[in-house]
Structure 1
Amino acid sequence: MKFNFQQAARALILFAFSAMLFKMHYTGDLTKYINPKYESLSQSASILFLILFFIQLTRIWTVKEQGHHCHHADHACTHDHGDSTFSIKKLLSYGILIFPLITGFLLPPKVLDASIVDKKGGMAILSNQKQSAQKNEGTNSDPAEQADPSEPLEHSIDQSNLDFPEEVSQDEYDKLIQKLEQSTNIEMNDYVFSPYYEEISFDVNRYKGRNITLTGFVYKEEGFEQNQLVLSRFLITHCVADASIIGFLSEFSEAASVEEDTWIEATGVLDVTTYGGNELPIIKITHWKKISEPAKPYLYPVNIKIL
C-alpha cells in the first residue's frame, strides 16, 4: 500500500470546508455573510463537502503498481492522479483553497460599520433613496375592512428577537403596511424595518408627528450640526457584498457626545427636513440609551410570495 500525501491533503481541505460551514451555522456567524434565506443552500454544501471527503478517503491509500497505466505508445497521460511533483501552479491552487479556510477559522466576521457607510456615500445615498416599489394598488379604503391596529397580526410586531419568516403572502404584507398606516407609535423591529422605512421615505409627510422607536448604529458626516447624527442599519439582499445603507437623520441635544458606531435604542417624533435638495424624514429624539451590538446586526428584505 502506498500513502498519497496530496490525496490526503485534498481530503483534509474538503473536510475543513464542511467543518467551517457547520461552525458558521452553529455560531450564527453565517448571517453576517449572507441572507438567511440561503442557509439551506450552505447546509447542503456542508453535507456535500462531507460526502466528497469520505469519497476522497478511498484515494489516500493505493496499491503499488509495476507500471503507469498511462504509458501508451501514442500518447502520454495529461491528468493529475495526485502523485505528481509539486509545481508553482499546484501550490497556487492549494493556496487559493486554503486561504478562505484560514480566514474563516481564525478571523472573526467583521460587522460593517460607519466607515463603510462613508465609503458608500453616506447622506448622499440616504437623501436620494427612492422607494423601489409603488404602493399596492387596490388597497381597500373602507376603514371597516382595514386591519384593526389593536388586532394582533399573524406575525407579532414587537421588539423580541424572533426568527421571522423569509417570505410572506401579499395579504400578510398588506396587513403589515396597514398596521404602519394606522399606528401612532411605530415600532421598527428588524422584521418590519425595511418595508416601514420604504413606506415612510415614500410619503414622509403622512407620518409626520408620529412616535417612532428603533435601534441602529451611529453615523456622522461632515457638515452635520452638533445635535445631528444618523441612526443607520445595513440591508442585506443576498450577501454583504450588496449591502446597502438605510437610516434616519436624527436630532437630540447629546448627539455630539455619542461616538460613531455606537449602537443605541431611541424613541422620538417623526418630522420632515430637507437635505441636499431632497425632502426626507428626521427623528426628533426624546429618549435614548446605548445598547450592545445585536447578535444579528443586519436587516433583510421581506420577500412576498409569488403565487
Structure 2
Amino acid sequence: MNFHFQQAIRAVILFAFSAMIFNLHQTGEITKLINPKYENLSKTVAILFFILFVVQLTRIFSFSTKDHHHCHHTGHHCCHHDHGNSPFNTKKLFSYLILIIPLATGFFIPAKTLDASIAEKKGGMMILSKQTQAAETEDFTEAAIPNQSAGDNLYGDHAPDPNLMEERQEIPEEEYDHLKKELSQKQTIHMTNHIYTIYYDDINSNASKYKGKKIQLTGFVLKEKGFKQNQLVLSRFLITHCIADASIIGFLSELPEAQNIDEDTWIEATGTIDISTYNGEQLPIIKIADWKKIEEPKKPYIYPIDIRVGL
C-alpha cells in the first residue's frame, strides 16, 4: 500500500475550505463578506467542497505494488505519470500557496468591518455628490406610482409589516411603490436597514420634497479635508454582492460637537433634512438636533432590495 503525500495535502485543503465556510456561517461572520441572499449558495459550495474531500480520500492510498512507468524505447520517449508522489517544484508550491493564504486569513484573521479609511479610498464625499447627481437624472416621477389619492393604501388595511420585511431581499414592484409613496407622507423618516436604499435614493433625487422633515438614522462618522468644524458624514457601506463591490452611501450632516467625535464612531442621530451645497453640487444635509454614541451594529452593512416586476 502506497501513501501519496500530495494527494493527502489536497484532501486537507478541500476539507479546510469546507470547514472555513461552515465556520463563517456558524459565527455569523459570513454577513461581513457577502450579501445575505448568497448565503444558501455559499453553503452549497461548502457541501461541494466536502464531497470533493470525500472523493479525494480515495486517492491518498493505492494498493498497486508496481509503479506506472512506461517507456517507448523506439522513440526514446519516457512518460512519467504523477500520482501524487512527484517531488514539489516551484510551480506546485506557488499553487498550494495561493490556496493556503485565503485559508489562513479565513481561520486566523477575524473579518473586519469596512471603515472610514476604506470610504476615503473609495472617494468619500465625491462619490456621495455623484450619487446625488445620478439620482436627480433618474426618472423618479409620480407616474411610476399608481394613481391614488393621498389617503389610499395599496394594501387596504394590510400594509407591509416592517418587522416582517426586515430579512427580505426581494419585494414586489407594488410594495416598492407603496414604500416610496408612504415615505413622502411621513413627517419623521426612520432609516432602517431594510428600506435604507429605497428612501436614500428618493431623498437624494427629490431633496426639496423632504426639506424640513425629521429623519432618524444610524451610521459611522466619516470626515474629510475641507469640512467645516461642525460637519461630518453619517455613512454606511452598501454591499451588492460582496465586500469587493462595497460602495459608500450616507448624508452630509452638521452638529456643533462634530469636531469632538472621532472617525468610525457609530452614532444614532435625529435631525432635520435641509439642502446645502458642497463643491458646487446641491445635496441633502442633515441638521442634527439629537445624537448618541452606539456600538457597531451586528449587521453594519446595507444591502439593496431587488424589485420583482410583474407576477
TM-score by length of 2: 0.91
String of CA shifts for 1:244-287, please: whole Å, max 9, x gaps: 11110111111111100000000011111111111111111111
Question: 2:204 & 2:67 partners in 1: Cα distance?
Answer: 74
Q: Distance in 2 between matches of 1:140 and 1:64?
A: 74
Q: Counterparts in 2 of 1:91-110, with a 5 A limit?
A: 91-110=93-112
Q: 1:48 to 1:133 in 2, by over 3 A?
A: farther
Distance 1:105-1:70 versus aligned 2 partners, 3 A rule:
farther
Q: Does 1:185 align with 2:188?
A: yes
Aligned to 1:57: 57
Q: Where does residue 140 of structure 2 map in the other structure?
A: 135
SS at match of 1:254: helix
Contact residue 220 and residue 260 of structure 1 kept, 8 A: yes
Q: Tell me which residue corresponds to 1:233.
A: 236
Equivalent AA in structure 1 for residue 115 of structure 2: D
* Partners of 1:5 and 1:258 in 2: CA distance: 56
- Deviation digits for residues 20-55 of structure 1 (CA, Å, limit 9, x no counterpart): 000111111112111111112111100000000001
Q: 1:185–1:163: structure 2 CA closer, same or farther, 3 Å change rule?
A: closer
Describe the SS at the equivalent of 1:50: helix
Match of 1:213 among 216, 222, 230: 216
SS at match of 1:190: coil
Q: Which residue of 2 aligns with 1:123?
A: 125
3-state DSSP of counterpart to 1:22: helix
Tell whether the 8 Å contact from 1:157 to 1:187 is kept in structure 2 after alignment: no
Q: Partners of 1:116 and 1:277 in 2: how far apart?
A: 25
Offset of residue 128 of structure 1: 2.0
Contact 1:140–1:146 (8 Å) recurs in 2:
no
- Give me the whole-angstrom Cα distance separating, in 2, the residues matched to 1:254 and 1:115: 21
Aligned AA (1:135): F
- Is 1:255 the counterpart of 2:258? The answer is yes
Q: Percent identity?
A: 54
Distance 2:277 2:158 in 1: 35
* Secondary structure of the corresponding residue to residue 82 of structure 1: coil
2:162 aligned residue = 156
Give the equivalent residue in structure 2 for 1:294: 297
Give me the whole-angstrom Cα distance separating, in 1, the residues matched to 2:151 and 2:81. Answer: 70
Deviations 1:201-253 (A, max 9, x none): 00100000111000000001111111111000010111111111111011111
Contact 2:215 2:273 in 1 (8 A): yes
Moved more, 76-85 or 24-33: 76-85
The answer for the alignment partner of 2:199 in structure 1 is: 196
Aligned to 1:113: 115
CA distance in 2, matches of 1:219, 1:40: 33
Render the CA deviation track for 1:160-186: whole Å, top value 9, x for unaligned. Answer: xx7521111101111111121111110
1:26 matched residue in structure 2: 26
- What RMSD in Å do the two structures reach over aligned CA positions? 2.2
1:89 paired residue number: 91
Q: Secondary structure at the match of 2:290?
A: strand
**Equivalent residues of 2:255, 2:289 under 8 A apart:** yes
Opposite residue 118 of structure 2, the aligned amino acid is: I
**What are structure 1's unaligned runs of at least 5 residues?**
none
